[in-house]
Amino acid sequence: MLVLLLGYRQQIAQVLESKGIPFCIWSEKPLKKQVLCQKIIIEDYPHQIEDGLSQLAGLPITHVIAGTEATVYLASRLRKALGARSNPDTAIILCHDKIEMKEFLRDRKIPMTDFLRGNELRNPNAVISRLGSTVVVKSRVGSGGRGLVWVDQDPEKLRHLLTDDVIIESPIKGTEGSVESLIQDGRVLFTNITRYTKVGTENRVPGDYPQEIQRDILELNQRVLSEIGIQWGLTHLEFYHTEANQILFGEVALRPPGGYIMQAMELAYDYDFWRAFVEIELGQSVTPPSVQAMAFAASVIFHPGEKSKITRIEGKAEAKALASMVKVRIKVKVGDSVKNRTSVGEDVGYALLKHEDPDQLTKDLEALHQTLHID
């Protein structure tokens, strides 16, 4: 066995090392830490599969694991070219392209907000007539939050966005969340529901939804996974809980979640989800965690939002003293420049919290936002 880790992720490399599994790394950026592996390729990811295969010539690769969001689709193409274990082609495409995904699932009566292909209606007024005066424009590939643009009663702005590279949706009044699923041999072994208590900055695990809403969420998740036909992997399905108490499909990705949700899940279930992810990727047997969470956890992401120079970092000591606090990390210092935030994956720090009492966790989350300031 020889594993290619496409896109370096420390947690995956650590699992492979601990299991004594030989692996290679392909990364676009130099690694900050020394890693014990067979080979490290520091090179831009290939646009053509043939170029990727030439880089891997002579390496008997048996498995390919995508370590980052950006490499998920490329990893699937390399698996097929190398004859490595792979999900069905249709499942890969549907989890990669939001338009293909949503058209496929809409035809199968999966509930979702109305949408259009970016170039389906060339007239912006026709788009507004169909979807409403306010629309959400998203890149058709990549995570939902990356490249997202809100257009409010502005036909001219919308006109310049009507391309084949985007999907246009009606906005939804309500809240958001996600379902993380471990899948092996076409069967869902485990599911977790995450609630986005502050979209893009705060996630609670497990989500504190009423039982009937949890049932509807898990039913939607099962229907989507079954229709797409995913055979193995860790999936991240996003949903909307509307003001009308409906559960609507958002999108699904065949990869681990971002936003430090994996770490929050580990705290809540006392389980190594990165190890389980690697074992599923390698086709090894997996013992799933208990369905019942052992505690309540949350991840909080810090970022000033817009491009700025950091002028103040205050309250870290008070944050570390909170009863629920497990870890708080700040990656910047006063004087550092920060770029505009374009996705959940960009941050200047994060915190992980855990407590057996959900009310105490709520209090500590509120206190964290009041005491810790990075701006």
CATH code where residue 157 lies: 3.30.1490.20
pLDDT at 166: 94
Is the domain of 184 the same as that of 261? Answer: yes
Is the domain of 310 the same as that of 288? Answer: no
Per the structure, the count of domains in the chain is 4
Residues 282-321 have pLDDT tens digits of 999 999 999 899 999 999 999 987 768 899 999 999 999 9
Is the domain of 244 the same as that of 357? Answer: no
pLDDT at 163: 92
Mean pLDDT of the chain: 94
Can you give the residue range of the structural domain that contains 94? 89-112+173-294
CATH code for position 66: 3.40.50.20
pLDDT at 344: 76
Is the domain of 267 the same as that of 231? Answer: yes
Residues 32-57 have pLDDT tens digits of 888 999 999 999 999 889 988 998 99
Q: Place 354 in a pLDDT band, splitting at 50, 70 and 90.
A: very high
Is the domain of 93 the same as that of 219? Answer: yes
Is the domain of 120 the same as that of 101? Answer: no
Identify the residue with better confidence: 252 or 146: 252
Is the domain of 49 the same as that of 128? Answer: no
Is the domain of 302 the same as that of 274? Answer: no
pLDDT at 224: 98
CATH code for position 289: 3.30.470.20
Q: Is the pLDDT of residue 147 over 80?
A: no
pLDDT at 85: 86
Is the domain of 277 the same as that of 354? Answer: no
Is the domain of 52 the same as that of 145? Answer: no
Q: Any residues with CB less than 8 A from the CB of 261 and at least 6 apart, and which? A: 178, 180, 194, 203, 205, 236, 299
**H/E run at residue 49:** helix 49-55
Residues 122-145 have pLDDT tens digits of 899 999 999 998 999 999 987 766
Q: Is the pLDDT of residue 60 over 80?
A: yes
Is the domain of 374 the same as that of 312? Answer: yes
Least confident of 42-46, 153-157, 356-360: 153-157
